[in-house]
Amino acid sequence: MSSRPTIRYTYQDYLAVPEDPAHRHEIVDGELHVSAAPRFRHQEVVGNLLELLRQRVRASRLGTVVPGPVTVRLHDELVVEPDVVFVLRGRMDIVDREGGIHGPPDLVVEVLSPSNRSYDRDLKRKRYLENGVPEVWIVDADDQTVEVWKAGRQEPLRSRDTLEWAVGDETLLLDLAEVFA
C-alpha cells in the first residue's frame, strides 16, 4: 500500500488562489489554512486598535500601520494575513504597494476569534517570532487583554489597562479601554 504524497503549498500557490472576501487563506509550514471571515466584534477591536496605532505612529512619523488582511510573505512556505501590521519608516523597502509585505514587519497583531484561538496564539505566533518578526501582539477581546511577545522571550508581557509600546526612541501608550470599547 502506498501513501499519498504530501502536498506542500508555496507562495506561488497562494498567488493562484482567487480573491475571496469570505475566507482568509494562509500557508504555514507548507500547509494551506482557510478560515472564515472575521466576526463583527473581531473587526470592531481591529478598527479601534488600528485607529489608536495610526494616530500615534503618524504623529511621531514612525512608519506605516495597515489593517489585514494583507499578505505577509516571510518565506516561500510561510504566507500569512495578520489583522494589523506595522513597518518602520526606514524599512518600507519590504512593502510592495501593489502586492504585500515581503519580509518580517516590525509588529504583527493577531486578534483572537473563537475559531482560531490556538492557531493564532500558538502556531502563527511561534512562526512569526522564528522568522524575524521582533514583536507580536495577541489580542483577546473576550478577556480584554493583550499578550506582548518579543523575540527571544519565553513568556509574554500581559496588559489589561495600558500597553506601552517601545518603537525606536519613542514609547507610545495605548489605553486598552479604548481598544475594547
Pick from 148, 147, 9: nearest CA to 80: 9
Per-residue pLDDT tens, the chain, 181 aa: give them.
556 668 899 999 999 998 888 889 999 999 999 998 889 999 999 999 999 999 999 999 999 999 988 999 999 999 999 999 999 999 999 999 888 999 999 999 999 988 888 899 999 999 999 999 999 999 999 999 999 999 999 999 999 999 999 998 899 999 999 999 9
User: Residue 129 to residues 24, 91, 179: CA-CA distances in angstroms?
Assistant: 21, 18, 24
Q: Which CATH number fits domain 39-179: 3.90.1150.10, 1.10.340.30, 3.30.1310.10, 3.90.1570.10?
A: 3.90.1570.10
